[in-house]
Chains A and B, each alone.
Chain A
Amino acid sequence: GAVVSQHPSRVICKSGTSVKIECRSLDFQATTMFWYRQFPKQSLMLMATSNEGSKATYEQGVEKDKFLINHASLTLSTLTVTSAHPEDSSFYICSAFSGRKTYEQYFGPGTRLTVT
């Protein structure tokens, strides 16, 4: 149980365009999902916390107008990178809180975004 999927797994887009990444909890309902980004050979950095039915909470230094997060249902959160630039190229990973234990999150397989 506790499977989280992401789509797409890889995406290449041109500078100035927008890209949407989906995060789904497949076998449980997730009231909270988290979005992280990871640069090569570095650790994960929390970008934002996504709560179903309410506005996302962004970490310091993350532009909320650039990284739009929508958590419209208990099994789906989306991250839209708007007006993407090459420096937005990264590995984006989501995680979902299952509600079983306060400290456990289940991670998706990640999305590799390349902006040309």
Chain B
Amino acid sequence: TQLLEQSPQFLSIQEGENLTVYCNSSSVFSSLQWYRQEPGEGPVLLVTVVTGGEVKKLKRLTFQFGDARKDSSLHITAAQPGDTGLYLCAGAYRGGGATNKLIFGTGTLLAVQP
């Protein structure tokens, strides 16, 4: 069974602080995605990383895919209250057929206090 463990599970920080969320697995994924989800809504895709060692930046968010494509990290610089939400990583793998299935990480609930 493939598992994606995220850490930390919960994080409450003050506005302006930096933070890093980790997503780890013993499995290799063809790609890894990060989503942010707000209460009562579906997850919204932030980024997809495909190549081992890849780093992508999205404004104050920096995403890195591990060299072995088993882990990833999300770093947020100068967090703002609008960053509050549930952050989910998801690894893509072949589940049969032409489409990759996604296995979601355990989630990190972030609260940024003003």
Contact of B95 among A49, A93, A106, A112 (CB under 8 A): A49
- Given the interface pairs A43-B107, A45-B104, A46-B101, the reply to whether A109 lies near B41 with Cβ below 8 Å is yes
A107 touches B44 (CB 8 A): yes
A-B CB pair tally, cutoff 8 Å: 71
Q: How many residues of A contact B (CB 8 A)?
A: 30
Which residues of the partner chain A approach B112 to less than 8 Å between Cβ atoms?
A: none
Which residues of the partner chain A approach B105 to less than 8 Å between Cβ atoms?
A: 43
Interface of B toward A, CB cutoff 8 Å: 30-31, 33, 35, 40-45, 48, 50, 86, 88, 90, 92, 95-107, 109
- Given the interface pairs A103-B48, A108-B42, the reply to whether A43 lies near B104 with Cβ below 8 Å is yes
DSSP class of A's interface residues: helix, strand, loop or mixed? strand
A49 touches B88 (CB 8 A): no
- Given the interface pairs A102-B100, A103-B33, the reply to whether A110 lies near B107 with Cβ below 8 Å is no
A51 to B101, CA, bound (A): 13
